[in-house]
């Protein structure tokens, strides 16, 4: 079975399982989406949402976080991992947005990735979920499942993103990356399935008997 054939199976099962797919992170606007994605590094979306639900009603614009300052931001997000590093990034990216972009989040990869604390994956999420631009952000779940489904060699997340973009039509990317994340959380888990028990793995590899080892992101 080639990748195009597997892609059809994957799309069929995911569309049936998740006809409507929720966005895991809660946010009020593009700026708070950017902040939430930054906070989600090495942290669960549930934990991020629990923290930001007490922040965003009052603080939801770059100028709000500039006015707060680093120390106050630290106190607001202290329940999140590596909060001091993240508070520093949030403060300086907010400052950059105010000074350089009139408080608006830029709409290009190049400009987003130049913001403090913002890497390619964060920029991809903002481009996809914030601006509706076709993107395929690759997180740990997508990286793991792409390997189990034989769609990439798992060298790194950059390679995984390139491989998935070649296999799946662009019109599916924004919904598909969310579907794969949810499927990885609920059906093809890190410490479960191992490439042999979930519906997609069984359909793509009906004769597979041995667990698949995957490379971490």
Q: Which residues are catalytic?
A: 121, 139
What separation in angstroms does the CA of 112 have from each of 26, 51, 175? 20, 24, 21
**Residues 15, 34: Cα–Cα separation, whole Å:** 27
Q: What 3-state DSSP class applies to 208?
A: coil
Burial status of residue 8 (CB atoms within 10 A of its CB: 0-12, 13-18, 19 or more): exposed
In 17-171 the beta strands, taken as DSSP E runs, fall at: none
Contacts 24+ apart (CB under 8 A), 168-173: 168/7, 168/11, 168/136, 170/134, 171/134, 172/11, 173/128, 173/134, 173/135, 173/136
**147 Cβ contact list (under 8 Å, min separation 6):** 153, 154, 160, 212, 214, 215
Burial status of residue 109 (CB atoms within 10 A of its CB: 0-12, 13-18, 19 or more): middle
Contact call for residues 106 and 5 (beta carbons, < 8 A) = no
**Residues 187, 195: Cα–Cα separation, whole Å:** 11
């Amino acid at each position: 079975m080639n990748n195009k054939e597997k892609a059809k199976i994957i799309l069929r099962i995911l569309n049936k399982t998740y006809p409507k797919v929720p966005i895991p992170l809660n946010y009020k606007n593009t700026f708070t989406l950017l902040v939430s994605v930054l906070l989600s590094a090495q942290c669960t979306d549930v934990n991020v949402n629990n923290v930001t639900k007490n922040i965003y009603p009052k603080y939801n614009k770059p100028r709000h976080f500039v006015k707060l300052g680093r120390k106050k931001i630290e106190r607001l997000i202290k329940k999140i991992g590596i909060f001091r590093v993240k508070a520093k990034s949030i403060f300086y990216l907010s400052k950059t947005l105010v000074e350089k972009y009139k408080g608006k989040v830029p709409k290009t990869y190049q400009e987003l990735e130049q913001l403090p604390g913002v890497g390619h994956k964060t920029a991809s999420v903002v481009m996809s979920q914030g601006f509706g631009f076709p993107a395929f952000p690759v997180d740990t779940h997508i990286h793991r499942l792409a390997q189990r489904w034989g769609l990439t060699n798992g060298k790194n997340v950059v390679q995984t993103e390139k491989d998935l973009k070649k296999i799946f039509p662009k019109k599916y990317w924004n919904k598909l990356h969310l579907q794969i994340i949810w499927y990885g959380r609920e059906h093809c888990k890190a410490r479960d399935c191992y490439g042999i028990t979930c519906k997609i793995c069984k359909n793509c590899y009906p004769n597979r008997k041995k667990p698949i080892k995957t490379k971490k992101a």
